[in-house]
Amino acid sequence: MVDQGQREQLLHLVFGGELTNLDRVEFRDLDKLDIVGIYPNYAAAYAAWKAKAQQTVDNAHMRYFIVHLHRLLDPQMDQRAKR
């Protein structure tokens, strides 16, 4: 349980790589995936995602993603948060 003064960790993963085709998410080389990091909330993950996306803007096939790890670790967390 989280104290009132603490915020619940909602872990997010930021990663990216070069796509084989712009029409689907299939990476050219899985060994070259860029694991940017795991962040405690969406805002921090978004800032990291945006920075990496801006660094690779010249490569149209390079894409970065934010994965909501907290939803994978505890699928019912979102339901409890809505109550």
Q: What spatial distance separates the first Cα and last Cα of the chain, rounded to whole Å?
A: 15
CA distance 42 to 18: 23
**Looking at the domain assignment, is residue 39 inside a domain?**
yes
How confident is the model over 10-19, as pLDDT tens digits?
Answer: 999 999 999 9
Q: Supply the DSSP symbol for 21.
A: -
Mean pLDDT computed over 58-80: 86
**Looking at the domain assignment, is residue 62 inside a domain?**
yes
How confident is the model over 29-50, as pLDDT tens digits?
Answer: 999 999 999 999 999 999 999 9
Domain that holds residue 77: 12-82
**Looking at the domain assignment, is residue 5 inside a domain?**
no
Query: How much is the pLDDT for 83?
Result: 52
Per-residue b or e along 56-76, where b marks 16 or more CB atoms closer than 10 Å to that residue's CB: eeeeeebbbebeebbeeeeee
Which residue in this structure is represented by tokens 């960790």?
9
Query: How much is the pLDDT for 82?
Result: 54
**Looking at the domain assignment, is residue 1 inside a domain?**
no
CATH number at residue 28: 3.30.70.2400
